Amino acid sequence: MRTVYSGLVDEKFIGQTVTLYGWVHRRRDHGGVIFIDLRDREGLVQVVCDPDRPEVFNTADKVRNEYCLKVVGLVRSRPEGTKNDDLISGAVEVLCQDLEVLNPSLTPPFSLDDDNISETARLTYRVLDLRRPVMQRNLRLRYKTAMAFRRFLDEHGFIDIETPALTRSTPEGARDYLVPSRVEEGCFYALPQSPQLFKQMLMVAGFDRYYQIVKCFRDEDLRADRQPEFTQVDIETSFLTQEEIRDMFEKMVRGVFKEVLGVELANPYPVMRWDDAMAKYGSDKPDLRISLEFKEITDLCKDTSFKVFANAAAMPNGKVVAMNVPKGCQLPRSEIDSYTEFVKIYGAKGLAYIKVNEKAKGREGLQSPIVKNLSDEFLNAVIERTGANDGDVIFFGADKKKIVWDSLGALRLKIGRSEFGKKAGLFTEGWKALWVIDFPMFEWSDEENRWMACHHPFTCPKPEDVDKLQSDPEHCYAQAYDMVLNGWEIGGGSIRIHKEDVQEKVFSALKITPEEAEQKFGFLLNALKFGAPPHGGIAFGLDRIVAMMTGANSIRDVIAFPKTQRAQCLLTHAPAPVTEKQLRELHIRLRNEHHHDEQ
């Protein structure tokens, strides 16, 4: 039997004989004495193999990196001056009395100490990658975080209930992953994008408080930080108001961060309306570590002779917005020019700016290609509204509001998180959490030529907006709330519609006909007719929260076996072709037959 994990052998074992198991992290030959660093999931211990024991020494001579070993030996103090304070076992070593190779290893394709291994190599040899101490730490922290969530939910009366992984396709959100049915020819299951409909039905079923740490699937175009399958902490509760739900889960996340990282999040969180977040930061997930803010100047631009501003101000949903960057004059011209290219990614046609060299000199103290087109009154009003001082730069966005928010919002993050932003004091390290509430119910889709649900079609409108659902959908707000941390949305939810008449009005605003609603969501709508309680919930992205906690660059670093950006698994080579026989059983024929010639 193992006495203790290798990484946990410390002074209290001195004088004891211990049995250890693990892998050779490295082997060093020091003039006749062989040292082996034995590694397991808890860390490293130094094993000393002496020529006095020829049998042990000969075996030690043959072992190489990543051999799997059993070691029996005597724990003793390390000689003076050779202690290592970074290790739990740093004050001791194990004098080997018996050494057994349980399994040799091929030479690993990369050194486990290397920090610059290509991601392709890491994902192809993921099993070795996961042996690296940093990956062991990440996955252990993920486990601790999940346990902290579970403990809170268990203590607050939430019941863990599993929901189906094979369900029906409801094409309202992202693209579904489809699974063909062998029994029902031509029919398909879908993998769930979230357990939304089932958790609402569990509320109607009277379970009152439900949670699940659950896999969700989305076949969407992958961005750097998206995975086709991801994990959420999914929660639903009955009879609580939006404020009560927010208080409870703010307390939960504060507790998780305290327990796992020893970090104190704000108590209480600041709460910001969606309209205000967009107006001040151009984002519904603002990073409050950055002090930069927008000031709208559309009203000042109505009569200006500068066409770019005047045209934007005259558009039906146009805006002109200014963002003052303190000490921005220190930015080199090349950097400012690169920002112009950067905002074009977000649809902006360009980026106007004014350098404030000496505001006491009026227009003479300002430097910019656009100053000549602007009146003194306008320039003074802008400087007053933005609070700009000598040495600052004011950037402007003028276009449809979405383009202005997207482009200046991205620029705010770019400048704030840059080296310049940190030096200029525009960025404060730490954890900044907030709630964003009162999201719009609907957003207009040019493609579909109709209003679409911003969250999902079961989100409850604010009571005062129910009567405007048909007449003024643009100004209807939802009882929806997102928890935001350092510029990432880590959780989001809403109060759900529990009354049939309200649900019908929302469907009608979304141009979903009663027949279509019945066909797609009939099972939920029918359940709601049997005394559905008022209910609401929230879901937290576990992968993202753990990635933020570990400081990982990508959620791939906190998922044991992730997919690449092309949604492939380099370890198992999934997705892969299947045999003709399997396809026949599923009543499927491929349009591109040449895929199957290799079979």
Q: Answer whether CATH 3.40.50.920 is correct for domain 434-535.
A: no
Q: Using the 8-state DSSP alphabet, how is residue 430 labeled? A: S
CB 106 within 8 A of CB 114: no
What is the per-residue pLDDT for 404? 97
Q: Where are the alpha helices (DSSP H) in 282-375?
A: 307-314, 333-344
Residue among 212, 207, 181 at smallest CA distance from 196: 212
Task: Return residue ranges of the chain for CATH 3.30.1360.30.
Answer: 290-427
Residue 218 labeled ligand binder: yes
Task: Return residue ranges of the chain for CATH 2.40.50.140.
Answer: 6-103
Please work out, in degrees rounded to the nearest 5, the angle formed at the alpha carbon of residue 539 by the alpha carbons of 535 and 543: 170
- List the structure tokens of 66: 């990543």
Beta-carbon count within 10 A of 270 CB:
12
Q: Using the 8-state DSSP alphabet, how is residue 595 labeled? A: G
What is the per-residue pLDDT for 448? 84
Helix (H, G, I), strand (E, B) or coil at 423: helix
pLDDT in tens, the chain (599 residues): 999 999 999 999 999 999 999 999 999 998 789 999 999 999 999 999 999 999 999 999 999 999 999 999 999 999 999 999 999 999 999 999 999 999 999 999 999 999 899 999 999 999 999 999 999 999 999 999 999 999 999 999 999 999 999 999 976 668 999 999 999 999 999 999 999 999 999 999 999 999 999 999 999 877 667 899 999 999 999 999 999 999 999 999 999 999 999 999 999 999 999 999 999 999 999 999 999 999 999 999 988 889 999 999 999 889 999 999 999 999 999 999 999 999 999 999 999 999 999 999 988 999 999 999 999 999 999 999 999 999 999 999 999 999 999 999 999 999 999 999 999 999 999 999 999 999 999 988 888 888 888 888 899 999 999 999 988 999 999 999 999 999 999 999 999 999 988 998 999 999 889 998 888 888 888 888 999 999 999 999 999 999 999 999 999 999 999 999 889 999 999 999 999 999 999 999 998 766 555 44
Residue 543 labeled ligand binder: yes
How many Å apart are CA 534 and CA 343, to the nearest integer? Answer: 44
Report the CATH number of the 290-427 domain. 3.30.1360.30
Residue 585 labeled ligand binder: no
Residue among 72, 137, 57, 134 at smallest CA distance from 102: 72
Beta-carbon count within 10 A of 584 CB:
10
Residue among 480, 539, 489 at smallest CA distance from 192: 539
Residue 219 labeled ligand binder: yes
How many Å apart are CA 283 and CA 277, to the nearest integer? Answer: 6
- List the structure tokens of 589: 């024929």
What is the per-residue pLDDT for 592? 79
Residue 234 labeled ligand binder: no
Residue 536 labeled ligand binder: no
Helix (H, G, I), strand (E, B) or coil at 64: coil
How many Å apart are CA 25 and CA 458, to the nearest integer? Answer: 54
Residue 289 labeled ligand binder: no
For 134-264+539-581, give the CATH class: alpha beta
Residues belonging to the chain: 599
Helix (H, G, I), strand (E, B) or coil at 470: coil
Provide the b/e sequence for 304-316 (b: ≥16 CB within 10 Å). Answer: bebebbbebbeee
Task: Return residue ranges of the chain for CATH 3.30.930.10.
Answer: 134-264+539-581, 434-535
Residue 53 labeled ligand binder: no
Angle between helices 401-417 and 274-281 (to 10 degrees): 60
Distance of CA 332 to the CA centre of its chain: 33
CB 451 within 8 A of CB 331: no
Phi, psi of 384 (to 5 degrees): -65, -45
H or E element: which one contains 582? helix 580-585
H, E, C per residue of 26-52: EEEEECCEEEEEEEECCEEEEEEECCC
- List the structure tokens of 219: 């076949």
Beta-carbon count within 10 A of 359 CB:
17
CATH architecture of 6-103: Beta Barrel (2.40)
DSSP H helix total and E strand total for the chain:
16, 22
How many Å apart are CA 458 and CA 524, to the nearest integer? Answer: 10
